[in-house]
Every structure is written in C-alpha cells, then in structure tokens.
Structure 1
Amino acid sequence: MPPVTGLPAPLGANGPLLRIAELTAGYRGKTVIENLDLVLDQEDMVALIGPNGCGKSTLLRAVTGVIPKASGEVKLRGRPLQHLPTHEVIRSGVGYLKQTRNIFPGLTVEQNLLLAHPDGRASSASRLRRLLSLFPLLADLQLKRAGLLSGGERQALALAMVLMRKAEVLLLDEPVSGLSPDNAEALLSGLDQLRREDGFSFLLVEHRLRVVAPWVNRILIMVRGRIVEDTRDVSILTDRQRLERHYQL
C-alpha cells in the first residue's frame, strides 16, 4: 500500500488544477448543491464522502456537464469548462466514471476498451496492454462479452475505459462498487500506479471508506450539498464517531 502523508499537495504549474466556484445545480427545479467552492491541486487524491443523497454524485454530474448548472464556474488549469457539453469536458482533460450505463454490454471487454481510446490503433493497443497489466481481473476477461460480467467486473471495466484516455483529473463515482475487498484493493493499486505514471489527480465518491483510505491524501465531507470538512487527516475515514458528528450537522 502507498504511504499517505498529511502534507498539502503543491499547486499546479499555473495555479489550481481544477477550480469550482459558486457552483449551484440540482434536478427538476430542486437545488441540491448551492454556491459550492472547491479547489483540486496537482497530486491531490481526494475522497468525497457523506450520507446518501447529500449531493456527491450531483457535483460530479454538474462539473462534467451531465446536468445543467444553474450558476457558477468550473475551470481546468484556468480554462473555463462550465458551458461545454460533456464530450468537450472529457476532451479537455477530465475523466469521468459514472455509476451506471457506463459500458457497452454487447461488446467484449477488449472491444469496450479499444472503443474508449481516442487515437489510432497502435497507441490504443499499447494503452490496452498497459491497463490489462495493471488490472489482471480484466486481463482474464478480455474476450468475454461485457453484458455477462458481474456488477463489480462491469465497474472495473468502466474505470479502465475512462483510463484509456489520458486525463489531468479523474472524477470517479464509486469506482470499486460491487468488487470483493481483494479485487477492490487490486484495482485501486493499479489506479495508483497509473497515477504515478500519468500524473493525474482524482476525486472519488465512495462509501467503502476503509477500502479507499490507503489510497487518498485528502478527505472532503459533504452534508446537504455543502462541504463541511476539508482535511488531510485520512484517519477520519476509520473514525466512526467523528464521521457521525459531521453527518449529523
């Protein structure tokens, strides 16, 4: 497992990597997050946690343009993203793993991965080989039709599809959902190795706090659409009393 320190991550070369300012968004006229401010720096490995329905997935959907933003700014290295459609946000350097409907069930694992790569065949084959070496679970399944995978295997495939395109920041909605503890740890280990190679930062939403604790260096706690805690003290993930105090705010 990688060592995790409490030291602040350095700023990117041109300031914050991702800046979210006064972001307001919701569904069908209901505001879920309001005037939310958040900065992600280079080398941040962030776990966004909080009770069900507090707005974690809504934040990721709003940042990536999946749902409209009522107001606010989203900038990647100073480049405005808030008015871009989702596919342009992805092209700009944001990788996004959503919870559901994130694979092509009629294609094989290998075909899904190749389809997710933005460039030519030679570079896609090279990237595919690298990801299969990092995620042995998928290497054993690459010729299997994706629709026959278990829920956890599908989520692992969906994450690998996101990683086929190199990004500057990843927004991951429950990346290890449905995986056994051993497979979840193997997947997060592969993600960490690729992070060291590619240099991306990530923000993940996850409920299995003990599983992700060794792989993050910053914790954000969200309650009712607000960030109520921003800490480098990763031990909070295994401190039930401290978490309950925040969740009851």
Structure 2
Amino acid sequence: MSDSGTGFGATGAAVRAEGKTDRVVVEITDLFAGYLPGINIINGANLVAHKGELIGIIGPNGAGKSTLLKSIFGMVKVRSGEVTVDGESVVGLKSDKLVQRGVGYVPQTNNVFPSLTIEENLQMGLFQAPKTYNERLEFVTSIFAELGKRLKQRAGSLSGGERQMVAMSRALMMDPSVLLLDEPSAGLSPVRQDDAFIRVSDINKAGVTTIMVEQNARRCLQICDRGYVLDQGRDAYHGTGRELLNDPKVIGLYLGTLGAEDH
C-alpha cells in the first residue's frame, strides 16, 4: 500500500491482470475544487484509472468523495490541477461534452426519470447517438437481463435496486470508456446491496473502466482492483483493495466505522 506522497500505487502486474492494460483512461493530478468561492472541498487529490480497472473511493462522511466524481463530470468548479480522460484535459467541459468524450455518470439519488418507461430512460441515455440503440440495448441487457423483459414498465414503479439498474444501464448506453458511480449501494437492503456490487463487477468485467464511490468500504475494497482513501479532500492512502483491507492504519482510522454495516 502507498500513501499519497509515493505515486499512484498501481503495479503493472495488477493492472494487466484479467485483460486490464497499462493505458490510462482517467488521471487526476493535484486537483483543487469546490462549490463556493474560496472554499475547496477537494484539496490536492490524485487518482489514476487504467483501462479495465475497477477503482474504489472510500473515506469518512464529508471527505469529498462525491465531489471528486462531480469534479470529473464537470459539475463542480475546478480551481487548479488537472483531469484528463484518454490523455486529453476535460477541465471546464460541460456534462454533455463529457458524455461525448466517453464519461458516464450515475448519481446517488434522483437518477432515473420516474414518469418514463425503462425503455424511454434508456433512450434518454442515447439521445446523442440514437441510431445505435439496438446495439447498446443488447449490451446492457446482457448485464441486466431482467430489464429487457420489462422495457414498457414505468421507472417510478421500480424498487430502489431496480432503479439503480436502470440508472447504470442508461449511463452505459453511450458506450463510455469510464463509468462514474456515486454510492450504488446507498439506501438498499443488504440483499440488494450485494446485488448492486455484483452488477458493478459485471459491468467492469464487460470491459468498462469503473470508478466507484462507496460508503460500504469493506465490500467496496473486496471487489475493486485498487482503492483510494479520501480524507479532507485528498488521497490519504491508496493501494490494491486487498492491501487497504489488511493495512492496520486504514483499518484503525477508517474501516472500523466505514465498514460497520458489513459484518
């Protein structure tokens, strides 16, 4: 495991495992960002995601985890530092342009159009490239097979876990090179939480580089290739999921409370 001063903590062997490559998809360098003038929530954060990796971001409440994702997706003002996607800066780009650049984002709440059907939600995810609908529908239903059987059902009638599936599917319709997930297990029952983590793994195994913010720290670290512990807006620790799970400092400072719900 590495602390934030020793680089990104990814080994070539770990990155290349299971079809992953050394190609950098997302890189955050010395990022400062915040909502209000003069007040930064992100304070010098660094992160890298290679092609095919599943990256987990954990940390205490108020650490800036969701803000970091929103900074990547153009929803928070970046004051200094750099965010690149496939080697090109995306700082200052609006969300629609980021989607065109291959960035998918699933917020924690209000992440479906409840008055629309599942099919209409998926079509909304593909409004920039509607001609590829059938091809992308085949892809998302290969991961979320049950959605394919219920396309005419209104999203507002779905359970929380089912809505999460629709939200992830809609973000996948544009064939993103990276998918940003903000606490996909939040508010779900323990059984649905397990299902959400399985689906995240399935998405990643299908070849989608994934960056996930998650409050259920232990479960997140169990499935991710590498993890970052965010504290006060900067990456305090990072390493493989296994390294962080077994590191005494991380256990003592973070996992004791962050993983309390995952016994």
Quick check: TM above 0.5? yes
Larger displacement relative to structure 2 (222-231 or 176-185) = 176-185
Distance 2:196 2:182 in 1: 14
Q: 2:129 aligns with which of 116, 119, 126?
A: 119
**Does 2:234 align with 1:222?**
no
The normalised TM-score by structure 2 is 0.80
Q: 1:34 aligns with which of 43, 54, 63?
A: 43
- 8 A Cα contact 2:118 2:150, kept in partner: yes
1:237 Cα shift?
4.1
Distance 2:221 2:49 in 1: 18
The alpha-carbon distance between structure 1 residues 214 and 162, as it changes in their structure 2 partners (threshold 3 A), is same
**Does 2:54 align with 1:48?**
no
The alpha-carbon distance between structure 1 residues 43 and 176, as it changes in their structure 2 partners (threshold 3 A), is same
Match of 1:128 in 2: 137
Q: 1:22 aligns with which of 21, 30, 38?
A: 30
Match of 1:179 in 2: 188
Larger displacement relative to structure 2 (200-209 or 138-147) = 138-147
1:165 Cα shift?
1.4
Equivalent residue pairs, number: 240
Q: 1:8 aligns with which of 4, 14, 26?
A: 14
Distance 1:213 1:61 in 2: 21
What are the ranges of 5 or more consecutive residues in structure 2 without an aligned counterpart? 1-10, 257-263
Match of 1:57 in 2: 66
Distance 1:206 1:59 in 2: 12
The alpha-carbon distance between structure 1 residues 143 and 184, as it changes in their structure 2 partners (threshold 3 A), is farther
Distance 1:129 1:111 in 2: 15
The alpha-carbon distance between structure 1 residues 133 and 204, as it changes in their structure 2 partners (threshold 3 A), is same
Match of 2:166 in 1: 157
1:50 Cα shift?
0.5
- 8 A Cα contact 1:152 1:177, kept in partner: no
1:112 Cα shift?
0.4
Secondary structure, counterpart of 1:165 in structure 2: coil
The alpha-carbon distance between structure 1 residues 240 and 132, as it changes in their structure 2 partners (threshold 3 A), is farther
What are the ranges of 5 or more consecutive residues in structure 1 without an aligned counterpart? 1-5
Secondary structure, counterpart of 1:176 in structure 2: coil
Structural mapping, 1:74-153, within 5 Å: 74-117=83-126, 118-121=128-131, 123-139=132-148, 141-153=150-162
1:162 Cα shift?
0.6
Identity in percent? 32
1:208 Cα shift?
2.1
Q: 2:80 aligns with which of 31, 54, 71?
A: 71
- 8 A Cα contact 1:135 1:187, kept in partner: no
The alpha-carbon distance between structure 1 residues 205 and 112, as it changes in their structure 2 partners (threshold 3 A), is same
Distance 1:246 1:211 in 2: 13
Q: Which amino acid aligns with 2:79?
A: A
Q: Which amino acid aligns with 1:67?
A: V
Superposed CA offset, 1:16-67 (max 9, x none): 2211112111122321111222222223211100011110001111111111
Q: Which amino acid aligns with 2:76?
A: I
1:175 Cα shift?
1.6
Secondary structure, counterpart of 1:171 in structure 2: strand
The alpha-carbon distance between structure 1 residues 183 and 129, as it changes in their structure 2 partners (threshold 3 A), is farther
1:210 Cα shift?
4.1
Larger displacement relative to structure 2 (156-165 or 53-62) = 156-165
Q: 1:245 aligns with which of 231, 234, 253?
A: 253
